[in-house]
């Protein structure tokens, strides 16, 4: 198990960790794309809101000094006001989600690169401190190196799998059953060749 996600109302574990990370990654990309793409709209809407405030302020001053033949300054309609305020709100919301979800995505990318889950990170941290106190060195047995950890996480066994299992939707199962599993053959063969040297 990695963690319980309250926003998905589901536990993220061995069989759905890849889908959770993909969701976070593509949602972050979508929010960044929307924030960047709507930057000009945001600036125009924000400037319009500032103009509305200035017109409202001038309108109050004009009403106080108004004679019967003066025309009041033009005002924005309710629809225009709501449109501009909604654009500003949506840009801030999208940018905030991009930052928060981006940080979560980067954190999980770091954990995947280390061959850990969120819970294992806390356990390994405590174990590392405990062993350091005894003068020993902690080694995570599930860390096969950054690239191999990603290949294992994404289920990439061959070069073609980068397309069929990563970029395109795939329902292939991860290696092992989530409790006990042997490393994939390509990791075992590589580790044995390093150990023999």
- How far apart CA 94 and CA 172 sit, in angstroms, is 32
Choosing from 5, 11, 24, 146, the catalytic residue is 5
- What the block records as the tokens of 96 is 């905030």
Q: Nearest CA to 175 among 192, 150, 195, 193? A: 150
The DSSP bridge partners found for residue 10 are 5
User: Could you tell me which residues come within 8 angstroms of residue 39 by beta carbon, excluding any fewer than 6 positions away?
Assistant: 91
- How far apart CA 24 and CA 99 sit, in angstroms, is 12
Contact 31, 95 (CB under 8 A): yes
Q: Nearest CA to 187 among 179, 195, 163? A: 195
Q: Nearest CA to 109 among 9, 24, 3? A: 24
Q: Residue 181's Cα: distance from chain center in Å?
A: 29
Catalytic (active site) residue 5? yes
Active site residues: 5
């Amino acid at each position: 198990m990695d963690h319980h996600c309250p926003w998905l109302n589901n536990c993220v574990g061995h069989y759905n960790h890849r889908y959770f990370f993909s969701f976070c990654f593509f949602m972050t990309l979508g929010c960044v794309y929307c924030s960047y793409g709507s930057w000009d709209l945001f600036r125009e809407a924000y400037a319009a809101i500032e103009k509305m405030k200035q017109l409202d302020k001038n309108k109050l001053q004009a009403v106080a000094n108004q004679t019967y033949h003066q025309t009041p300054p033009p005002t924005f309609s309710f629809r225009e006001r709501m449109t501009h305020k909604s654009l500003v709100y949506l840009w801030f919301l999208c940018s905030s989600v991009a930052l928060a979800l981006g940080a979560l995505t980067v954190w999980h990318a770091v954990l995947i690169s280390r061959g850990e889950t969120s819970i294992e990170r806390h356990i390994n941290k405590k174990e590392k401190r405990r062993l350091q106190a005894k003068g020993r060195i902690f080694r995570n047995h599930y860390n096969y190196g950054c690239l191999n950890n990603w290949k294992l996480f994404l289920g990439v066994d061959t070069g073609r799998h980068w397309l069929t299992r990563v970029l395109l939707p795939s329902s292939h199962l991860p290696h092992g059953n989530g409790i006990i599993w042997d490393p994939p053959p390509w990791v075992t063969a590589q580790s044995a060749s390093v150990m023999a040297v």
